[in-house]
Amino acid sequence: MERVYRLVISCPDCVGIVARVSGFISDCGGWLTEASYHADREAGWFFMRTEIRADSLSMSLEAFRERFARDVANHYGMHWFVHDSAERPRLVLMASKASHCLADLLYRWSVGELECDIACVIANHPDHESLVQHYGLPYHCVSFGQGREEAFAEINALLERYAADVVVLARFMQVIPPAMCQQWAGRMINIHHSFLPSFAGAQPYHQAHARGVKLIGATCHYVTEDLDAGPIIEQDVARVNHRHDSDDLVRLGRDVEKAVLARGLIAHLEDRVIIHGNKTVILD
């Protein structure tokens, strides 16, 4: 893939932001390959994402950052960053007994669909060791029989050891401690097997079946201290009817979960997601 620098911005909305940013990039010799933006009229906030050909800039990336901060960002009160697409995030996958989301992400990574390096897989059951070893990756089984506090201390040590940038809960069926949620804010992604905010918590398919819904869904979201209530990245649904029992809903839901988690993760890895409060803007 062509190496690009991704400039991502959010700031109070006003006249002239697009012209100022685009003009600055042009003055630096930057060749734009993609640009998108959104103005939230209710919030009075502006969001922008641009991709710049890395070989087109007339200066180093560090010099570009310094000049952008001085000449543009400071004048508009911007929250911003520039990411070099050549710097691949280090990803850690976490799972429990269900394997469908884990297997799907491992396959997508193996064929080059995910712009990241998977550092390891952490699970609280030994079931997936052979699957993970097939892809040549380290597998760590952390037992929660030792106690939740001890187990999460072990997980934190592994995340530090592998220098993780992003954590994906690929059906990791444990509630993340508040301190860990805060530490990984905006960098820990979960897949919940319902169309949130409906049916949060445990056994959502069984909740949905008991309610007699005609649509089931899945939600990819960032993890926060509020269970299954973090900023939503991606969602999708599948139609069901009265002939489907709870097991059918689980079976049909697996495909939705895999697709939703993959799309959400790809959007995050491509720097297309901007968190604003408890909502997200996806600049595709």
Which residues are part of the catalytic machinery? 228
Give me the residue label for tokens 């995910």.
114
As given in the structure block, the two tokens for residue 168 are 């994906």
Provide the Cα torsion 192, 194, 200, 206; round to 10°.
Answer: -120
* Cβ burial 62-88 (10 Å sphere, 16+ → b, else e): eebbeebeeebbeebebebebbebeee
Any residues with CB less than 8 A from the CB of 123 and at least 6 apart, and which?
94, 95, 96, 139, 140, 141, 142, 172
Residue 254: CB atoms within 10 A of its CB come to 19
Element (H, E) at 93: strand 90-95
Q: Are 227 and 214 in contact (CB under 8 A)?
A: no
- 3-state DSSP assignment of residue 189: strand
